[in-house]
Structure 1
Amino acid sequence: MFNEKKVAQMAAYLLHKRGGAMAFLKLMKLLYLSDRKSMELYGEPISGDYYCSMDKGPVLSNTYSIISFGGDDENGWSKWISAPRNYNVSLRHQIDNVFELEDLSRADIKAMDEVYAEYGHWNRFELCEQTHKICPEWQDPNGSSIPIRMKDIFMAIGYSDEDAEEMVSSIQEKSQLEILTADLR
């Protein structure tokens, strides 16, 4: 289940690692790769977002809309991240301790740390090109967008067809349970 607050905290963590600001194109790639890495390490994504292929590579669909048009959750994107300016986003306030990012687990942070260690030094254009090569689930949409199925990501990172189906089914069940229990809160 998509969680704007959690995605905002993912973005805040990556921006914090980068010194507080970065190109939003680069941030989008790092967020996607973080979800992908979490799926590889732990069998589930961090964000709960939907994925799509766009001309500049794979993106988190809802997150892309939030970066472009703003979010709805007052404790979400706008609490942590500035509106894009000159194709860059930045932290709204300094993070003194990662425990401020209460929606992120240690596993989430580990996945993002691994992604940042591998790709954080690349510029946005290099990273964009690289995601076209290392993410076989991405398809050139020729100026449009194409949904990326979670199953295709699992298969691209080495799961069999059957195992990928099971992983997606498990994630969907967990998401449905989160929706039901959210109504009880």
Structure 2
Amino acid sequence: YILKQLGGQADLHKVFKIMYFADQKHLLRFGSTISSDTYIAMANGPVPSITYDILKALRGEGLLIDKKANFEPYFKLEKRSIVSGIMDPDLDWLSKSEIQVLNEAIYENKDLDFTSLTAKSHDLAWDKALSNGEMDIMNIAKAGGADDDMLRYIGFNIENSFSKLG
């Protein structure tokens, strides 16, 4: 969806930052992220771990290399860091709230350059994470301005999802 809204292609950095800000906005408003991805605090800002692994597979690298053929109908990688969407996004997978938040994050960040996106994403959650370490979901919410009630709600949602696993 993000790629389609950006004209069909974009650099990984821009896509990753738009994903981060969309996930953060959705977390603040609705208590959950859109992607369910885990963000890693890398040098140039948050990087969605699973999404990055998928795109690395298109390069013939990483943990999901054996799944490369599964991703090729959807994405194409050029010059190692430009990703293109091959198929139109299936909007049945996105709720109205997710589309709204994605559109806001795209609008707010599409024209920012690499340096500006990096600086903007170096927020409290990024600062508190170890270098190349997982960013805490509660810190992502705090960095976005979540109040105490929303933080409790997010914590409750996290607790419930873990209790369903065990």
If the TM-score is normalised by the length of the shorter chain, which range does it land in?
0.7 to 0.9
May I ask how many residue pairs the two structures share in their alignment?
159
Q: CA deviation at 1:88?
A: 0.4
Letter in 2 for 1:23: D
Q: 1:173 aligns with which of 118, 139, 160?
A: 160
TM-score, normalised to structure 1's length? 0.72
1:49 aligns to what SS in structure 2?
coil
Tell me, which stretches of 5 or more residues in structure 2 are unaligned?
Answer: 59-63
Which residue, out of 19, 44, 57, partners 2:32? 44
Secondary structure of the residue aligned to 1:89 is: strand
CA distance in 1, matches of 2:128, 2:138: 18
Give the whole-Å Cα distance in 2 for the aligned partners of 1:159 and 1:33. Answer: 13
> RMSD of the TM alignment (CA)?
2.8
Q: From the superposition, tell whether residues 162 and 43 of structure 1 become closer, same or farther in structure 2 (CA, over 3 Å).
A: closer
2:61 aligns to what? Answer: none
Sequence identity percentage: 25
Asked whether the equivalents of residues 53 and 59 of structure 1 are also in contact (C-alpha less than 8 Å), the reply is yes
Aligned to 1:150: 137
- TM-score normalized by structure 2? 0.79
Partner residue of 2:79?
85
- Measure, in 2, the Cα distance between the counterparts of 1:74 and 1:161: 44
Aligned to 1:123: 113
- Structure 1 unaligned segments of length 5 or more: list them: 1-12, 181-185
CA offsets 1:12-41 (integer angstroms, 9 cap, x no match) = x11111110111111111111111111112
124, 130, 137: which one pairs with 1:136? Answer: 124
Q: State how 1:58-137 maps to structure 2 within 5 Å.
A: 58-70=46-58, 72=67, 77-93=71-87, 95=88, 100-132=90-122, 135-137=123-125
1:34 match: 22
4+ aligned runs moved over 6 Å, structure 1? none
Question: Which of 10, 17, 24 pairs up with 2:12?
Answer: 24
Q: CA deviation at 1:172?
A: 4.8
Q: Distance in 2 between matches of 1:19 and 1:101?
A: 17
Cα offset, 1:107, TM superposition? 0.8
Write the distance in 2 (CA, Å) between the matches of 1:105 and 1:123: 29
- Cα distance 1:49–1:101, how it changes in 2: closer, same or farther (>3 A)? same
Q: Secondary structure at the match of 1:31?
A: helix
Letter in 1 for 2:156: S
1:85 and 1:47 map into 2 onto residues whose CA distance is 25
Instruction: Give the corresponding residue for 1:6.
Output: none
Query: For residue 38 of structure 2, what is the amino acid of its counterpart?
Result: Y
